[in-house]
Amino acid sequence: MCGITGWVDFELNMSTKVDVLKQMTESLANRGPDADGIWHDAHAAIGHRRLSIIDLSGGRQPMEAGTMGMAQAVLTFCGEIYNYRELRKELQSAGHAFETESDTEVLLKAYLQWGEDMTSRLNGMYALGIWNRRTEELVLIRDRIGVKPLYYYPTPTGILFGSEPKAILANPAARRRLSMNGLREIFDMIKTPEQTVYDGMFEVRPGHIVRFSRKGLSKRAYWSLQAAPHTDDYGTTVRTVRDILSDAVTRQMVADVPICTLLSGGLDSSAITGFAAQSQGSRKVRSFSVDFKNNMKNFEVDAVRGAPDAPFARALAEHVGAEHTEVLLDSSELLDKTVRSNVLRALDMPSVYWGDMWPSLYLLFRSIKNHSTVALSGEAADEIFGGYKWFHNPAAIQADTFPWLTPGSSRYFGGLGLLDPDLRGQLDIEAYRKERYLEALKEVPVLPGESAVDRRMREITYLNLTRFLQTLLDRNDRMSMAVGLEVRVPFCDHRLVDYVFNVPWHMKNADGREKSLLRAAAKEVLPEVIYNRVKTPYPATQDPRYENGLRDELAELLADSNAPARPLLDLKKAGTWTKRTDAAVSHPYNRGSLEATLSLNRWMKEYDLELAV
């Protein structure tokens, strides 16, 4: 895993801009702590920070390749190509010679052999930039599901790109400008494809290619979700899901550095850990879980969490013989100013939703990094197999909006509570959400003759995969790469996504439980207690000391007349929050607006934003 960046400008001499390129590259040092590299010619400058995973001594980037002694292409690449060994053999048969054992060189030679059509052959997570020296064209490519991020910023005579906004913002040509639409993207729990919170900055859409040359900028899709008849019976479907997932995990357990799994004791992470253990044979798989000190003793059931994770994670670890480690956090660590600043700097935007999950993930990944460089995650199973409550709530299914923003679920994504009423009126989130929802529905592929139930569940699945999952993948990427840990996501194998997207709902929900198809496919690697466990989200602190710390910070904000977020707030309402009496238990859905306000203020303060609201 790595950090990539670059700058193309047909009116500038890039040999005079090397210092700027170095700053852009250095901004991504956390993503690639092991090595760095830059390359430039007259009109293109490319940077790379490396986290060494495969072929530790080779594979340095940016990497050049060509024919007959002439460099034709330069590559900067972030990610992993899981089928690179098969592609290497195919390319060798076509006459290509290799100097390293890296997937980077395979990717570069694949471009020389097949051009952009190489994307149809790739199995992996990737974001890459290729500078074609012969045609003077920049090619940006992002993986099908969007596991790896990739941003770009057109300028009057060129383009900037990077793994994270910070790389682009390190260039003086990029403005740090926030408009009303940027605020809408921050405060509504949807991720509009291609849009970012910064004016003028865009994200390469998953499964897409962006090209930039003297002719200008163009975009095209090389992959998208497609509707197709599902002809397999239930037994065959279960076996196919099992075979694809098992193969995906096996492929993703390949690394030249220590590797582990993230194990919560839920169905998804347990399935990944179970298949990982199966793939390792006699070697023990290593696993990690996270919880809060005294949570077992003080845990209180809430609307979505019926029990602590720890006993279930231990049961799975014992079942598969994993070497398991429990990372226990104290709530005071979540309030640490350095930790919260590191989270913000990793995100380049406010952490409006999920509150304490951001610092707890950061701390978990930082702890894991002491033992492993790669971790496998169970992310994306809920979106693919229908794990969330809104997949099973008739009111949410039938609602004319994103299902996670309906009563019963929307309170977990409510961050507007302390904003000034006039600003909330200007934002008009409901109208913005409606527009984005209708826009998304138009994209959903149609299968002629499909039942009304299957059609609607296809829509729900599409919305989750393209507007909800992206926020979770970003969360995993930023918090893990902030400490130089690579997180892989086997459920995002495009073969699995393509297949399950077309499985009828009655098969996905065969026994009436969430993710029953996945339960059946993973049954052979699960103990009964995990097989029967209902979905439980990532742990959240219930410690009232955490909420008290947030209220103290809010009081400081209100007392500071120069606090940048202060003009955006309902000061009277915010003042009442600082005077709330302590509760015995603090629930995450009761502190969403508090978390959002504080994060917004930190971001505006540290990033010196130009406001256009």
Q: Which residues are catalytic?
A: 2
CA pair distance 230, 208, nearest whole angstrom: 26
- Of 392, 404, 378, 389, the C-alpha closest to 496 is 378
CA pair distance 492, 465, nearest whole angstrom: 10
CA pair distance 391, 382, nearest whole angstrom: 9
CB within 8 A of 296, min separation 6: which ones? 308, 310
Q: How far is CA 15 from CA 24, 135, 429, 451, in A?
A: 15, 20, 46, 60
- Token couple for 514: 């969430």
**Which DSSP category does 109 fall into?**
H
CA pair distance 504, 234, nearest whole angstrom: 10
CA pair distance 189, 405, nearest whole angstrom: 8
CB within 8 A of 442, min separation 6: which ones? none
Map tokens 């610092």 to a residue: 359
Quickly list DSSP for 571-595. HHHHHHHHTPPPPSS--GGGSHHHH
In what order do the strands lie in the sheet containing 202-203?
35-40, 44-50, 2-9, 158-162, 151-155, 202-203
Do residues 387 and 500 make contact, with C-beta atoms less than 8 angstroms apart?
no
In what order do the strands lie in the sheet containing 486-488?
323-329, 286-292, 259-262, 374-376, 486-488
Q: How far is CA 190 from CA 174, 179, 210, 268, in A?
A: 25, 17, 23, 23
- Of 107, 152, 101, the C-alpha closest to 126 is 107
CA pair distance 5, 27, nearest whole angstrom: 10
Q: How many CA atoms lie within 13 A of 577 on its CB side?
A: 29
Do residues 494 and 504 make contact, with C-beta atoms less than 8 angstroms apart?
no
Q: Is omega for the bond preceding 154 within 30 degrees of 0, making it cis?
A: no
Q: What SS3 class is residue 284? A: coil
DSSP H stretches of helix in 224-370:
234-252, 267-280, 295-298, 310-320, 331-334, 337-347, 357-368
Map tokens 């918090």 to a residue: 479
DSSP H stretches of helix in 411-562:
421-427, 429-443, 452-463, 469-481, 494-501, 505-508, 516-522, 528-531, 544-559
Q: How far is CA 604 from CA 333, 425, 431, 607, 611, in A?
A: 23, 21, 25, 5, 9
CA pair distance 605, 599, nearest whole angstrom: 10
CA pair distance 467, 460, nearest whole angstrom: 10
